[in-house]
């Protein structure tokens, strides 16, 4: 009887582990966006507004979601940024990871993590000067429930203790 109990427990344990892994992989929706010099300014602004709306909607609804942004400079340098919204039992957070590619003399691509930070607060703001944003920039904080397009605002990310980390 003990021999039959052991395989059953192992089977249940394996099923639980598979379910947990599947749950991690199916965490919400994913938006993948590519910005490069092949798209025009109008299309770039449209994609940026779409990304802001995606992040804000999922943050506001406390849903797990991931934005994967691939940027390619005029010189061809690639940068990947991942914005992962993770609902936790007591709070909501977003992990931002930025990776960039370096290229070897034989064409090899070496990816390096350029930065990683945790966001615990997100606000929609309208800055006084869109091109000179820094943590001390004067901004107008917009109402959470206002119906706005992603082109009408920026997102301000703050860390633990409300320290302004970046704008999006």
* pLDDT tens, residue by residue, 85-141: 999 888 899 999 999 988 888 888 888 888 899 999 999 998 877 777 777 778 888
Task: Identify which of 103, 39, 95 has the alpha carbon closest to the alpha carbon of residue 71.
Answer: 39
- Count other Cβ atoms within 10 Å, centred on residue 51: 19
Q: What was the pLDDT predicted at 22?
A: 42
Report residue 10: phi and psi, to 5°: -65, -40
Q: What is the pLDDT of residues 23-44, one digit of tens each?
A: 444 577 999 999 988 888 899 9
Q: What was the pLDDT predicted at 139?
A: 83
Going by DSSP bridges, is the β-strand pair 109-119/139-141 parallel, antiparallel, or unpaired?
A: unpaired
Which residues on neighbouring strands pair with residue 72, listed in sequence order? 78
Q: What DSSP state is assigned to residue 76?
A: -
Domain spans of the chain?
A: 30-167
21 pLDDT exceeds 60? no
Q: What was the pLDDT predicted at 73?
A: 86
Give the mean model confidence (pLDDT) for residues 3-14: 51
Instruction: Give Rg (Cα) of the chain.
Output: 21
Give the mean model confidence (pLDDT) for residues 71-78: 86
């Amino acid at each position: 009887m003990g021999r039959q109990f052991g395989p059953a427990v192992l089977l249940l344990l394996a099923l639980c582990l598979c379910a947990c892994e599947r749950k991690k992989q199916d965490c919400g929706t994913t938006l993948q966006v590519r910005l490069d010099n092949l798209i025009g300014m109008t299309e770039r602004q449209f994609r940026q507004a779409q990304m802001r709306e995606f992040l804000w909607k999922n943050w506001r609804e406390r849903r797990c979601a991931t934005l994967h942004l691939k940027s390619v400079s005029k010189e061809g340098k690639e940068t990947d940024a991942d914005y992962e919204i993770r609902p936790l039992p007591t709070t909501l957070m977003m992990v931002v990871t930025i990776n960039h590619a370096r290229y070897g003399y034989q064409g090899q691509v070496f990816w390096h993590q350029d930065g990683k930070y945790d966001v615990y607060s997100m606000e929609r703001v309208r800055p006084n000067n869109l091109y000179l944003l820094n943590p001390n920039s004067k901004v107008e904080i917009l109402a959470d429930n206002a119906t706005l397009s992603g082109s009408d605002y920026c997102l301000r990310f703050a860390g633990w203790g409300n320290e302004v980390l970046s704008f999006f």
